Structure formats: structure tokens, C-alpha cells
Copies of this chain bind each other. A is one copy, B any other.
Amino acid sequence: MRTIRVAAAQSGPIQKAEPRDDVVRRLVALLEEAARRGARLVVFPELALTTFFPRWYMEEETDVLAWFEPSMPSPTTRPLFDRARELGIGFSLGYAELTPEGRRFNTSILVDERGEIVGKYRKIHLPGHVAYDPDRAFQHLEKRYFEPGDLGFPVWRTLGGIMGMCICNDRRWPETWRVLGLQSVELVMLGFNTPSVNSQDSAEGPTQRLFHHRLSMQAGAYQNATWAVAVAKAGVEDGHALMGGTLIVDPNGEIVAESATLEDELVLYDCDLDACRFGKQTIFDFARHRRTEHYGLITSRTGARPPD
């Protein structure tokens, strides 16, 4: 048994006007409660420091940049790092990253129990669109404000296991999970902000969207024999509902813990990383079963194309 107690630290809504240091205080409170309850790793949501700003159409560069973090840790986020180091607890955190060169990414970092940033992931599967779209019930402008991640899907040996990260829409793409699985990942951390209604189909509401979320998480975990932790920002932000659905999935694809609210809430579970072994050594022993000679289209073709 290599058991690590993981806390999925769901955030309730963060309103547009909420100052970032208030948000950090909420995250620190969750971190402290997680530590009190024995967690060694706390997973925070995607873009955990602000409202989900890609719902707002902005033309002015300065309006956009106001949502971004030019450094990490920063004066505002430093208290989270300090408290985690004092408590000897690791965490992952999503935020809008502005690089020194002015590039913008939807990023997640992994911080170990000494408070060191040991991993960084930049979201690869950006959903949504670039230009204002009058046909949508609301905007989803991730492709406007971020460029696709340029770091691939790395894994890290830390906190006693092989850890991976991805962000929100990445979970719907089996390529994400497989690239992590091919690196023997044992625990995948994912933060998300998912609207309760499909902006392009108002009939697709929270029941169907939670189903798709669970389905993607469970399939990704099962088919790669890994733990998976999905952490929502939830509830009504700026008048727009986020569906919630924080959960932890075991390497068999079973949901073992799930949030009960749309507020700040911890979901804890003791994840035995050795539970990944049976799947990785039998039905998903890739070395014995995968046939890469037939997978060529996955990397050689981007878009779908029907047969002639």
C-alpha cells in the first residue's frame, strides 16, 4: 500500500468583484482544514483565483491582462505557499498565467510539501471560440484569451507517486489520458469550470453535463488504471451557473467520493497508488496489447474526414 490522502478542494463561486486576496484566504482555509483532516495533497480548481472570466468578451488588452498572474507565487498568492510549506502539504492550483514574454496560458502548477513548484501544465484542449459569437447563449472565449499549452502532458515523481495534471476540457479527450498513461501516471489532478448549460444547446442542462463529466473522468481513469481527482469551481458566478461535480475516481473507474454542495467544500479520499498495478499489469498492460501500427491517424490527421 502506498496510500496518499488527497483533498479535492472545491470552490464555490467567485464573483467578478471579489478581490484576489479574499479568494486566497478561502483557499488557505480549505488547505488548513485539509491538513487537519490528514490530507497530504490538496487539489484546487482551474482558474482558482478569479471568476471564470472567459465568459466575458473583452477587447482591451489591459482589461484582459487584469485577470492574469505575471508571477507565481505573487504577493497575493504567497500566503497559500507559506501555509502549505508550514503544514508540509502539497497542492495543485489553476490560474491564468502571463509569461515574461507576454504569452497567456490557462495553467496549473504542482507544489510539493516543501512549497516548491515542481510541475507546470498549460491547458492544451482549449474549448470555445476566438471572436464574439452572437449565436451563443453566453460566451466561452478561452480560445481568445489563451494560447494552447506548449508543455505537452508531463508527469512528475513527487509526493510518493507519479503525478499528472490536466485542465477542464482536457478530460473529454482520451489523448490526454493516454499520453499520461504511457508515462505510468498514478494520479491525475484536474480542475474545471463547467457551465451548467451548453451555450450552443439550451436543452443540454446540468444532468447531461454532469453525466459527460463523470463519463470522461471514469473512462480516462479506468482505461489507464489511474486515480483521478476532478475539482470544480461551482455555483452561480456573475449570474452564470457552474455545474459543480467534484469527484475522485479509482483506477477501476469507480467514483469513490463526490461533493455534495456548490460551495467551498473538501472531498477527501485515501488513494492507494498500488491499486493502479492490477489494471496496468493485466488488461491495460500496454506493452502486450497496444498495436501502434494501426493508430497512425491519431497523430497524422487533426480533423475528421469521411471516406471518399
Contacts and interface: CB of A to CB of B under 8 A. Distances in A.
Contacts of A211: 253-254
Contacts of A295: 175, 179, 298-299
A215 interface: yes
Interface in A184-223: 184, 200-201, 208, 211-212, 215-216, 218-219, 222-223
A280 B307 contact: no
A111 interface: no
A201 to B, nearest CB: 7
A305 B127 contact: no
A303 interface: yes
A212 B253 contact: yes
A292 B302 CA distance: 6
Contacts of A297: 178-179, 182-183
Contacts of A286: 302-304
A76 to B, nearest CB: 31
B175 A304 contact: no
Given A219-B216, A294-B153, A305-B184, A289 B127 contact: yes
Given A172-B284, A184-B307, A292-B298, 4 more contacts: A169-B283, A173-B289, A175-B290, A299-B299
18 contacts: A125-B290, A125-B291, A126-B289, A157-B306, A172-B223, A175-B178, A179-B298, A184-B307, A201-B282, A212-B222, A215-B215, A215-B219, A286-B302, A287-B304, A288-B303, A290-B302, A295-B299, A296-B299
